[in-house]
Amino acid sequence: MSWDDKFSKDAKSIRASEIRELLKILEDPGILSFAGGIPDPALFPMEQVKKIRMDIERQPDLDRQAMQYSQTEGYAPLRQWVADRHTTTETTLESGNILITNGAQQSLTLLATIFLEAGTPIAVADPTYLGALQVFGTRRPEYLRVETDENGVRLDRLEEAFKAGAKVFYTIPDFQNPGGMTIPEDRRRRIVELAHQYDVVILEDAAYRALYYDGPPPPSLFELEGQFLGEGQWQKAGLVIQLGTASKTLMPALRVGWTIAPKPILEKMVLLKQANDLHTSTLNQMIANGLFQKDFDEHTQRLRSVYQERKDAMLEALRQHLPNSVRFSTPTGGMFVWVQLPEGMNARRLLEKALDEEKIAFVPGEAFFAGSGGENTLRLSFSTCSPDVIRDGMQRLSALIQRECVEKVA
Ligand SMILES: Cc1ncc(COP(=O)(O)O)c(C=O)c1O
């Protein structure tokens, strides 16, 4: 029986995630994976989680509250923590500006429903986070693809997209997934100005913001918009909506993320979330809250030092072993290095060989583009392997690329 004629247009437009498909192959323990953009489970704060759970169990009322239905907006102390943490001199956040979601992924889903419908023009970087493209794709928008350079989206191309009528711009300004690039402060300021000039909503995805290794990133678009508008104005005139998550710093399985937005947007999101799943797991929100309230800065500091070593090991090995014709990004945070193979080389075919000959996995870059392109690009993640394993893996992958380059020329 064919279900195709029964599916809605939205259902038909859903794309399979290349990464999720790839993760299935990676269950093979013999494969050395630089594919998944996942945190290292060895760095999960397991002991603190145990303590927080015991602490909840010792308080019968709280313990029951953790298992009861609760409000859609989220666990009040956690919302307050997010609000306080993101309040700036110009913009005071209240818990009414914060919605706790099932990961940042759900924030994207709710925001896509609020702002996009078939044909809505949305500007996205080329390349950008595949999971966002998956979500947006279900709304069948019109993509206005914005070319990037080593500093993120190009301003001239972004302005063209805004002029062409973009209603929304989705961006990951810090240590982008997948490109690894960070937008510098002057470019960020200009993006905020342009958004106001052309009246474009900005969805700022700050998923990797806390994972900086060579000094903190520039102020966020949310912070800069506060400066641009002046004290107290964001609540009335803000166009920047920021998404955050506990997945990259704490544990993804908590499924705790959030949206920071002016209240009229939050109110719409709350209604939609209610229709979607009523609320995010209260127990998980309590655990996230406990982890954020105690020693969170020390914890992220430890993550930074471990990941920094891995990032440096990867960059150093690529510098040493990759042929000169291959270019790669030099991220200062996050989890990813973006590789551009010489024109004409195909990263999908390279992956087949890498799996077959070297038992090494990465993600071909094509999937991160909102349309065609990127066949010669790939994403490497340095988050889960030790520096030695990274050095060995990069040496072998580089040797394979070198062999392929020679073959292509021959
Ligand atoms: C840029 C970006 N945004 C959002 C997400 C989703 O995160 P969460 O686990 O909070 O749903 C990811 C996960 O990889 C991501 O890379």
Residue 328 phi/psi, 5-degree rounding, is -145, 155
Domain boundaries, the chain: 9-45+297-409, 68-295
Question: What are 300-357's pLDDT values in tens digits?
Answer: 999 999 999 999 999 999 999 999 999 999 999 999 999 999 999 999 999 999 999 9
**Which CATH code, of 3.40.470.10, 3.10.20.520, 1.20.120.80, 3.40.640.10, is assigned to 68-295?**
3.40.640.10
Output the six-digit token pair for 261.
Answer: 């937005």
Q: Which residues contact 286 (CB under 8 A, 6 or more apart)?
A: 52, 56, 62, 66, 75, 78
In whole angstroms, what is the distance from residue 87 CA to residue 82 CA? 9
CA-nearest residue for atom 2, ligand 1, is: 207
Contact 257, 101 (CB under 8 A): yes
CA-nearest residue for atom 14, ligand 1, is: 37
Q: Residue 287: exposed, middle, or buried by beta-carbon count in 10 A (0-12, 13-18, 19+)? A: buried
The rounded Å distance from CA 245 to ligand 1 centre is 7
The rounded Å distance from CA 28 to ligand 1 centre is 24
The rounded Å distance from CA 408 to ligand 1 centre is 37
DSSP assignment string, 150-185: TTEE-HHHHHHHHHTT-SEEEE--SS-TTT-----H
The rounded Å distance from CA 40 to ligand 1 centre is 15
Question: What are 272-284's pLDDT values in tens digits?
Answer: 999 999 999 999 9
Residue 14 is predicted with a pLDDT of 75
The hierarchical CATH code for the domain 9-45+297-409 is 3.90.1150.10
383 lines ligand 1 (CB under 6 A): no
User: If you compute the radius of gyration of the chain from its CA atoms, what whole number of angstroms results?
Assistant: 22
Q: What is the pTM of this model?
A: 0.96
DSSP assignment string, 110-158: HHHHHH--TT-EEEEEES--HHHHHHHHTT--EEEEEEEETTEE-HHHH
Contact 175, 331 (CB under 8 A): yes
Contact 104, 249 (CB under 8 A): no
Asked whether the bond before 178 is cis by omega within 30 degrees of 0, the reply is yes
- pLDDT tens for the 410 residues of the chain, in order: 788 888 888 787 776 766 666 667 777 888 999 998 899 999 999 999 999 999 999 999 999 999 999 999 999 999 999 999 999 999 999 999 999 999 999 999 999 999 999 999 999 999 999 999 999 999 999 999 999 999 999 999 999 999 999 999 999 999 999 999 999 999 999 999 999 999 999 999 999 999 999 899 999 999 999 999 999 999 999 999 999 999 999 999 999 999 999 999 999 999 999 999 999 999 999 999 999 999 999 999 999 999 999 999 999 999 999 999 999 999 999 999 999 999 999 999 999 999 999 999 999 999 999 999 999 999 999 999 999 999 999 999 999 999 988 776 65
Asked whether the bond before 127 is cis by omega within 30 degrees of 0, the reply is yes
Total number of residues shown for the chain: 410
